[in-house]
Structure 1
Amino acid sequence: MTLRPLINAVEDLNLNGVEPLQGVAYMAIGKHLCGPATDMTLRCCIGEQSYQDIAAEAQASCYFRGLAIATCCHHLCQWKNYINKRYMSDLGFTKEDFHAISWFTSWAVDADHGSIFTSTDCMTQHEILSEMKEFGFDSEVRGVGEIVRDMQPIDRAVLGFMCKDIIDTGRLMWVKAQGLESQLVKYVPCSISPENHLLVARYKKRS
């Protein structure tokens, strides 16, 4: 195995132009790709492809096989870079809502949750939206400031984790739409690190 550093902005990186990758299958592994860096990496590695494009790429001199990305710093996510705006829109969220969701994710890492969370499972979209309604975020009367003042620290942490799940679920769905087998897993308990999301994906085996 040969290691060769590349000094290049990921948003401008063209992997087909990287000489050491020519003639080999390769995978992308990212440890804590902060905020929009995850979305940029997904575009760099996968892009908008059809299943036919994927099959053709597998026969090319340089082809991508899968990835494992540990997402983090969701509070730095940006609407202009986010990979799945359609997903957010389908949930009824606007650009401004996305910025608020990103900001709320910081509450998941504000404190030590070791005594609070022993394990957490990914929630369904229905559960996420139901919980947000219980917190009052569907109300047109109450302002965000008033809602925040009424929330206990544990409730803020729970909301922060839900917002992280929303952002990463959109990424997961986008990757699946490109024809990859994908999962969003938690590789350590929240009691060890709240930044524990891992997006894994690989191209489906051709029958």
Structure 2
Amino acid sequence: MAASAPTPRATGSPAEGRCGYYVAKKKRFCRMVVAAGKRFCGEHAGAAEEENARKRILCPLDPKHTVYEDQLAKHLKKCNSREKPKPDFFVQDINAGLKDETETPDQFVPISSLPEEQLENLIMKLRKASEGLNATLRDQTMSHPALHDALTDPRNGDSATKHLKQQVDGKHRKKNAVFERLQIDIQHLCLNKIPVLSREKLPVVGIGKHLCGVATDLALRCLVGAGGARGEDGSGEPSAKRRKDGRADGEARTAAEEGRGGPAPAPWSPPVAGIVIALCCHHRCDWRHYVGREHFRALGLGALEFHYFQRMSSWATCGLRGAARRGGPSADGEEHDGAGHPVTDGRAESPPGSLTAEEKEDIGRLCKLLIDHGRAEYLRRHGFRPALQYYTEPGVSPENVLLTAVPQRPCPAAEASA
């Protein structure tokens, strides 16, 4: 720790009970409270003449704070940044996809650097693969006359929408409802091991908003795996690493299997009663985790085409047409999706060809649609009836496609309640 900066005469002395270290950058003394009999706070203790023999170092768990070197072992046991114990429902990479050995990132170059012939070939493949897909989307934009009456009621004023939202937002009228928040990456979430689900034998409805890009694929694999469905390759292998006997890493053989009893019954899995996900941020998808890889391969497409389709999908939402009207790029040169992630600027990815803003938006929408159709086909192969539909107007949000799915056969819980 550097020695205390010299104190200019104009600054006077530190306040009583406060640190005596002068912060030159801020032109004032540190305002931290000091311990009884000490001159400096913990962060500036190295500057104290009486404590020069003790060295403070950065905490290896979080370099934002320091600790005495001779007390490091003790500090690591109680540091707030230490790794917390993993919950039972944490299973490493259970929803991750399998790495594609044929995928070599060295092949990928910026779209703006692609030869015009290669770009035209990609667009031709895209149009052929997505032929007729637009006709499969239904317009399910929902509204009600009562809502329009309330919004246009002059008594509600100009802030009618905000006022009405605040009236109903956050209200849950069901008594004795149970809410539980799980802080975990979806990539490692095992629904079968969530205590409240396994204890009550509850079915699951997956609802997602802003499951950006790859998070949607992880969520779909999580739900399909929970329902006891087969893995992406159709062989029964889920995306978590499996041994040859079909168990996940770390699963032990039961006593019944070790004896003559044969395989033990499969563990309980929560039935999935439905899936509703508002799709977005296709530019953040990843071929490794994408659930529609089999669909892409059936169309003669692979990791290379997916990479460029994923990049070109941002053309649908990056405001190219508006920038063209303004006569140039925006001031910051970068847009953000609804979740705050930066969207690759479509102009920076622009090829040297003569594609208009309208053509690029159309190509971007086709890229999104093809990626989403692969997800729908994945659900269809695993026993669901999927549907892609528009749930709001493009003027409200350009990310206006909803993926819904229900099991082809009613889940046991639904049959019991009927």
| TM-score in same-fold range (> 0.5) | yes
Q: CA deviation at 1:145?
A: 2.9
Whole-angstrom distance in 2 between the partners of 1:11 and 1:108: 27
Q: CA offsets, 1:154-182, max 9 Å, x none?
A: 11101100100000000001101101111
Whole-angstrom distance in 1 between the partners of 2:280 and 2:269: 32
Name structure 2 gaps, 5 residues minimum: 1-176, 231-235, 237-264, 323-349
Whole-angstrom distance in 2 between the partners of 1:113 and 1:200: 30
Whole-angstrom distance in 1 between the partners of 2:404 and 2:194: 23
Counterpart mapping for 1:75-90 below 5 A = 75-90=283-298
31, 35, 51: which is aligned to 2:209?
A: 31
Counterpart mapping for 1:93-112 below 5 A = 93-111=301-319
Match of 1:145 in 2: 351
User: TM-score, normalising length from structure 2?
Assistant: 0.38
Structure 1 residue 163 corresponds to structure 2 residue 163: no
Contact 2:293 2:302 in 1 (8 A): no
> What percentage of aligned pairs have identical amino acids?
32
In the alignment, residue 67 of structure 1 is paired with which amino acid?
Answer: I
CA RMSD of aligned residues (A): 2.6
Whole-angstrom distance in 2 between the partners of 1:70 and 1:191: 16
Whole-angstrom distance in 2 between the partners of 1:195 and 1:49: 29
Q: 1:112 to 1:2 in 2, by over 3 A?
A: farther
Higher strand fraction: Structure 1 or Structure 2?
1
Whole-angstrom distance in 2 between the partners of 1:64 and 1:94: 30
Quick one: higher RCO (CA 8 Å, sep 6+), 1 or 2?
Answer: 1
Q: 1:39 to 1:61 in 2, by over 3 A?
A: closer
Q: CA offsets, 1:102-146, max 9 Å, x none?
A: 0001011011879xxxxxxxxxxxxxxxxxxxxxxxxxxxxx834
In the alignment, residue 16 of structure 1 is paired with which amino acid?
Answer: N
Larger Rg: 2
Q: CA offsets, 1:57-110, max 9 Å, x none?
A: 9xx573221110111100011100100111111222221110000000101101
378, 395, 404: which is aligned to 1:191?
A: 395
Count of residue correspondences: 171
Contact 1:24 1:61 in 2 (8 A): no
Q: 1:42 to 1:61 in 2, by over 3 A?
A: closer
44, 48, 52: which is aligned to 2:222?
A: 44
Q: CA deviation at 1:2?
A: 1.4
Q: CA offsets, 1:3-33, max 9 Å, x none?
A: 1110111011000100111211121100121
Q: 1:2 to 1:185 in 2, by over 3 A?
A: same
Q: 1:2 to 1:95 in 2, by over 3 A?
A: same
Match of 2:196 in 1: 20
In the alignment, residue 313 of structure 2 is paired with which amino acid?
Answer: T
Structure 1 residue 8 corresponds to structure 2 residue 195: no
More deviation, 176-185/86-95: 86-95
Match of 1:117 in 2: none
Match of 1:135 in 2: none
In the alignment, residue 145 of structure 1 is paired with which amino acid?
Answer: P
Whole-angstrom distance in 2 between the partners of 1:169 and 1:78: 16
Whole-angstrom distance in 1 between the partners of 2:374 and 2:321: 25
Name structure 1 gaps, 5 residues minimum: 115-143
Contact 1:39 1:82 in 2 (8 A): yes
Structure 1 residue 91 corresponds to structure 2 residue 299: yes
Contact 2:276 2:402 in 1 (8 A): yes
